[in-house]
């Protein structure tokens, strides 16, 4: 396969037991890299389904953890980055902006009772949240 050609479909099992099914292409250095869309299942049960660029999660995708936690949204350089929804194992959710795997910026947190809190999030800090009232 020549550099610059379109992606090819592969099914690959890594030496550590991880599996990848999806598109690959040849990098500038000549190595085959995940590029396009595909599903990566790690040996410890983490599943990423979505877009890849130069062997990194990049673009839109879904990352499922064995704990039941799920992130669905935008990725950049293998991190939650952009807008997305993170569902915690207890069923509570955060919808909003992420920056390098952290909740960062405008967002809404819905707790397990269905109460919605909106405001500015900065990692684990969220000062000045407002509870949404449904009247």
**Residues 80-105 pLDDT 10s:** 999 999 999 999 999 999 999 999 99
What pLDDT, on the 0 to 100 scale, is given for residue 11?
95
pLDDT grade, residue 35 (50/70/90)?
very high
pTM here is: 0.88
Query: Strand (E) positions, 29-115?
Result: 32-41, 47-53, 56-64, 70-76, 79-87, 93-99, 102-110
Question: What is the rounded average pLDDT of the residues 10-26?
Answer: 95
**115 vs 28, more confident:** 115
Task: Write out the two tokens for 58.
Answer: 């990049």
Question: What is the rounded average pLDDT of the residues 69-83?
Answer: 98
- Dist. CA 99–CA 77, nearest whole Å: 11
pLDDT grade, residue 24 (50/70/90)?
very high
Question: What is the rounded average pLDDT of the residues 32-52?
Answer: 96
What pLDDT, on the 0 to 100 scale, is given for residue 10?
93
Question: What is the rounded average pLDDT of the residues 61-70?
Answer: 98
pLDDT grade, residue 1 (50/70/90)?
very low
């Amino acid at each position: 396969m020549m550099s610059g050609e379109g992606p090819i479909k592969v099914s690959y099992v890594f030496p550590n037991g991880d599996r990848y099914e999806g598109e690959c292409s040849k990098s500038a250095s000549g190595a085959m890299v995940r590029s396009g869309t595909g599903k990566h299942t790690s040996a410890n049960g983490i599943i990423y389904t979505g877009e890849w660029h130069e062997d990194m999660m990049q673009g839109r995708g879904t990352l499922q953890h064995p704990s039941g936690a799920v992130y669905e949204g935008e990725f950049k350089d293998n991190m939650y980055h952009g807008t997305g929804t993170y569902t915690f194992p207890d069923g509570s959710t955060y919808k909003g902006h992420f920056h390098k795997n952290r909740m960062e910026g405008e967002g809404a947190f819905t707790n397990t009772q269905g109460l919605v809190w909106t405001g500015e999030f900065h990692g684990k800090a969220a000062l000045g949240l407002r509870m949404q009232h449904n009247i």
